[in-house]
Amino acid sequence: MKALEGIKILDFTHVQSGPTCTQLLAWFGADVIKVERPGVGDATRGQLRDIPDVDSLYFTMLNHNKRSIELNGKDETGKEILERLVKTCDVLVENFAPGALDRMGFSWERVHELNPRMIMASIKGFGPGTYADCKVYENIAQCAGGAASTTGMLGEVPLVTGAQIGDSGTGLHLAFGIVTALFHRETSGQGQRVTAAMQDGVLNLCRVKLRDQQRLETAGPLTEYSQFGEDIPFGDAVPRAGNDSGGGQPGRILKCKGWEDDPDSYTYFITQAAVWKNICDVIGKPKWKDDEDYATPNARLPRLNEVFGAIEDWTMTKTKFEVMDICNPMNIPVGPILSMKEIMRDQSLRDTGTVVEVDHPTRGKYYSVGNPVKLSDSPSEVLRSPLLGEHTDEILKDVLNYSDDEIAEIRASGAVGEPKIQAAE
Ligand code: CAO
């Protein structure tokens, strides 16, 4: 039995943040019923399309294992169906702009009145306060959550990262909140409100930078940042640290053999104190093992440019995979800069189901990222995303117990859009 089998999720999410949350719950076995506007659906179905008239990879890769019902939540019949869904499901998840669900008539108070056991979970850009009413997308959250000001090269513009820490990161946070509330419901018998703001989620992931802000204010210059060794003065806020490691063990991205032609021919290299002697041997600097200017972490801090320069002289003679092969047996922590092309073809990621090939009736085969969290007794099977309204009748009948005549009336009202001709699998 899947861990969340029997849990029904009323999925009102769209774009990326909410769908990543409900996709995780679906992978663990929850029945996720995605409610979409008739004829329109989640906006991402049509965004960044690579094949005309076919659901985009943006949509298919964020909505695996779900069922889709077309439903107009602003129509009277649609509202009645929604009420029945609220009464039937365990969790409502949404990431509308602030106030949208209230305008539709489904405030937390109303939902709680309809079904006191229901957990209502929301993602918004900001928590209560000055910016509570603002719409937010990924990069806005990265900027407002402290990630952008601390990412990039010193003296250059702030940078956003490709990792979707605002959207997918907050989706993860929300999933954790939902599962916690489900656990609490076991004893309380009551549902509760779960909220995760994207700014808060990003800040949570930038925790070490708030650590550094306080160290800067209380103890002065951040000695492990490269700029310390370069004698560049610190300001009063945590600076951008380039590719410096965020922890106490200095690390950098270094060129490897072939870097002139391959933009990803680099390795991350950490000068972990415990294996310093091994590093000296590998790079051909055995004298640094006992030289007081290099032998201890503190002695090396003002000399990091020289140290990493010497390491890079060595890494440039090896491919990034050779660096791995040589350093790992010596316990030196290194990691190749892998391109998406390399990751998509990585056999070990395929073997664990982290990279999966999925078949889709109108798109054909494509690659996706499977469930990154593995449960020994509840393995995830990645099923394709639903076509728009693919399960409307099935949900009306099997989940909500409408009769065939009632379904015909609902269809005639226009609340659930046009019947769908199923694409051949
Ligand atoms: N039936 C009827 N109406 C529906 C519906 C349905 N099934 N599904 C959506 N709608 C309506 C909403 O009720 C809303 O109507 P009103 O504004 O008239 O009340 C309207 O569609 C648009 O919803 P929206 O405001 O959420 O969508 P948007 O495209 O304007 O904004 C976004 C998108 C993401 C900026 C906004 O939803 C948001 O800020 N969400 C919270 C933060 C978040 O999750 N951001 C991450 C997005 S991923 O990068």
212 CA distance to ligand 1 middle (Å): 36
**Residues 248 and 196 both lie in one domain:** no
How confident is the model over 395-405, as a mean pLDDT? 97
- Please identify, by atom number, the ligand 1 atom nearest to the C-alpha of residue 103: 19
Non-local (6+) Cβ contacts of 262 within 8 A are: none
213 lies in some domain: no
If pLDDT is split at 50, 70 and 90, which confidence band does 1 have? confident
Query: Which of 11, 31, 167, 200 is flagged as catalytic?
Result: 167
φ/ψ of residue 312, rounded to 5: -65, -35
Burial 376-388 (b: 16+ CB within 10 A, else e): eebebebebbbbb
pLDDT for res 419? 77
Indicate whether 308 and 160 sit together in one domain: no
Which residue has its alpha carbon closest to ligand 1 atom 46? 137
The residue to mutate among 35, 62, 96, having the most atoms of ligand 1 within 8 angstroms of its beta carbon, is: 96
Q: Which ligand 1 atom sits closest to the C-alpha of 99?
A: 19
Average pLDDT over residues 48-59: 97
- State the distance from the centre of ligand 1 to the C-alpha of 213, rounded, in angstroms: 35
Q: How would DSSP label each residue in 154-169? A: TTS-----SS-TTHHH
* Number of domains within the chain: 2
Q: Ligand 1: which residues within 6 Å by Cβ?
A: 15-18, 35-37, 71-74, 95-97, 100, 103-104, 123-125, 135-138, 167
Q: Is residue 419 part of a domain?
A: no
Q: What is the mean pLDDT of residues 274-303?
A: 95
The model's pLDDT over 81-135, given as tens digits with 9 standing for 90+, comes to 999 999 999 999 999 999 999 999 999 999 999 999 999 999 999 999 999 999 9
By residue count, the chain amounts to: 425
Last residue of a domain, one of 285, 308, 332: 332
What b/e string do you get for 83-105 counting C-beta neighbours within 10 Å, with b at 16 or more?
Answer: bbbbebbbbbbbbbebeebeebe
Residue whose CA is closest, atom 3 of ligand 1? Answer: 73
For 90, the domain range is: 8-204+345-413
Look at residue 396 and tell me if it is in a domain. Answer: yes
- Which secondary-structure segment (H or E) carries 310? helix 304-315
Q: Which atom of ligand 1 lies at the shortest distance from residue 138's CA? A: 49
The single residue listed with the structure tokens 């009748």 is 393
Q: Residue 368's beta-bridge partner residues?
A: 356
Residues paired with 270 in a beta bridge: 251
Which alpha helices (DSSP H) does 104-197 contain, by range? 108-114, 138-144, 167-188
Alpha helices in 7-105 (DSSP H): 17-27, 57-60, 76-88, 100-103
Instruction: Assess contact for 10 and 87: CB atoms under 8 A.
Output: no
Residue 36: which CATH number? 3.40.50.10540
Residue whose CA lies nearest to ligand 1 atom number 30: 97
Tokens of 348: 């070990």
Sign of torsion over alpha carbons 92, 97, 98, 104:
negative
CB 317, CB 311: distance < 8 Å: no
Asked whether residue 108 is domain-assigned, the answer is yes
Domain termination residue (choose one: 332, 357, 378): 332
Question: Do 328 and 353 have their domain in common?
Answer: no
What's the number of CA atoms in the CB half-sphere (13 Å) around residue 137?
Answer: 3
235: in domain: no
Report the CATH number that the domain containing residue 252 is assigned in CATH.
3.30.1540.10
Q: Do residue 193 and residue 315 come from a single domain?
A: no
The answer to whether residues 257 and 365 belong to one domain is: no
Distance CA 39, CA 71 (A): 9
Q: Is 167 a catalytic residue?
A: yes
Considering the domain boundaries, does residue 230 fall inside one? no
Evaluate if residue 224 carries a pLDDT over 60: yes
